[in-house]
Chain A
Amino acid sequence: MSHVTDLPVWAAILVCGLTVLGAAIALIGSVGLLRFTSFYERLHAPTLATSGGVLLICTASIICFAVLQSRWVFHEILIIVFVLVTTPMTLMLLGQAALYRDRVEEKHGVPLKQRPPREEPVE
């Protein structure tokens, strides 16, 4: 049974550095989620975790398993691709929902609907 402590020194340094850096980026993103004052600013915070954090930690995982099992294991790429493709959809939908709700309540400082009222068809 192989263990993470069996890694050679260069791989261990790489794996540790990438993991800690990725976790730090995810933590910074969450701090942003906590600190920002308006919803539209908070919308930017999770993208830190989903781009930087996921990329770095998945790379660390790929290196770790590739060295330990001495064969290339790429299935972490699935997580990277999946998260990179799906998070924009969630955030776009949330942004649109927030815009819709703020417009219904006629909040201040929210851009109005761009389209002019529909014109009557000409007889």
Chain B
Amino acid sequence: MRTWFPYPLLSAGLLAIWLLLNQSVAPGTILMGSVLATGLGWVTLKLGLARSHPRRVLLMLRFGFTIALDIIRSNLAVAAVILRGRRRPPNSGFLTVDIDLDDENALALLACVMTATPGTAWLEYDRLRKSLLFHVLDMENERVWIDTVKRYEAALKEIFG
């Protein structure tokens, strides 16, 4: 199994994308998609990426749900900041927080989540000191943002642990 599909999640995702693009589940499409998924899986093996094994599907679903809620909430918050305009300019600033994640894929996921939610932007991660520098648009109080990042970190640790 491992020799055929070194990255099973990647191969399944590629097959799904191929089927969606072609908009059919005809046998020919599935065959072509499987060939592509297997071949590209081997190509990815040459890149030598870090492997990780996300477990606990239920936890992942709950994490996704939390992120969706956070994205909606921060969308509204950032829209309010922009519409408030020049009367009260945003109180933005840089924050650093210590993050203790060893798994590279978990770090990448954390970076994507933090940048995708409006209001926080990932800037720099120092591997030696394990500290992360990020920028916050509206810093009403710093504790809330640091606690948010810590919450994400705990959830990711549980998923990839």
A and B touch in the complex (CB under 8 A): yes
Closest to A46 in B: B118
In A34-51, which residues have CB < 8 Å from any B CB? 35-38, 40-41, 43-45, 47-48, 50-51
Name the one of A28, A41, A95 contacting B92, with C-beta atoms under 8 angstroms. Answer: A41
Which residue of B79, B90, B131 contacts A36 across the interface (Cβ within 8 Å)?
B90
Say whether A51 contacts B118, CB under 8 Å: yes
How far apart sit A35 and B89, CA to CA, in the bound complex (Å)?
Answer: 10
Known contacts A25-B79, A114-B96; A44/B137 CB under 8 A: yes
Cβ-defined contact, B75 with A51, below 8 A: yes
Contacts of A50 in B (CB 8 A): 116
Residues on B with C-beta less than 8 A from A95 are 121-123, 135
A-B pair count, CB < 8 Å, reads 102
Write the chain B residue with the least CB distance to A95.
B123
Closest Cβ of chain B: how far from A63's Cβ, in Å? 17
C-alpha gap A89/B113 in the complex (Å): 11
Q: For residue A98, give the distance in angstroms from its CB to the closest CB of chain B.
A: 9
What CA separation (Å) do A35 and B23 show in the bound complex? 42
Q: Answer yes or no: B20 CB below 8 A from chain A CBs.
A: yes
Q: Per-residue 0/1 for B113-135: is the Cβ within 8 Å of any A Cβ (1 yes, 0 no)?
A: 01111111111101011010101
- Decide if A91 is an interface residue (CB 8 Å cutoff): yes
Cβ of A3 under 8 Å from chain B: no
Q: Is the CB–CB distance between B131 and A41 below 8 Å? A: no
List the A side residues contacting B89 at CB < 8 Å.
37
Closest-CB distance, B112 to chain A (whole angstroms):
4
List B residues 65-87 near A (Cβ within 8 Å).
71-72, 75, 78-79, 81-83, 85-86
Interface size (B, Cβ < 8 Å)?
A: 39
Q: How distant is A113 from chain B, measured CB to nearest CB, in Å?
A: 9
Main secondary structure of the interface of A (DSSP, over half): helix
Known contacts A75-B23, A115-B129: A48-B118 contact under CB 8 Å? yes
8 new A-B contacts, CB < 8 A, other than A47-B78, A73-B23, are A51-B118, A74-B20, A78-B17, A78-B20, A91-B121, A99-B123, A99-B124, A115-B129
Write 14 A-B pairs (CB below 8 A) sorted by A numbering: A28-B79, A29-B82, A35-B85, A41-B92, A44-B119, A44-B137, A48-B75, A48-B78, A74-B20, A75-B21, A88-B122, A92-B115, A95-B123, A115-B129
User: 8 nearest interchain CB pairs?
Assistant: A88-B115, A32-B82, A47-B118, A52-B75, A88-B112, A44-B137, A95-B123, A114-B126
- Taking Cβ atoms with an 8 Å cutoff, the residues of B that contact A are 17, 20-21, 23, 71-72, 75, 78-79, 81-83, 85-86, 89-90, 92, 94, 96, 111-112, 114-124, 126, 128-129, 131, 133, 135, 137
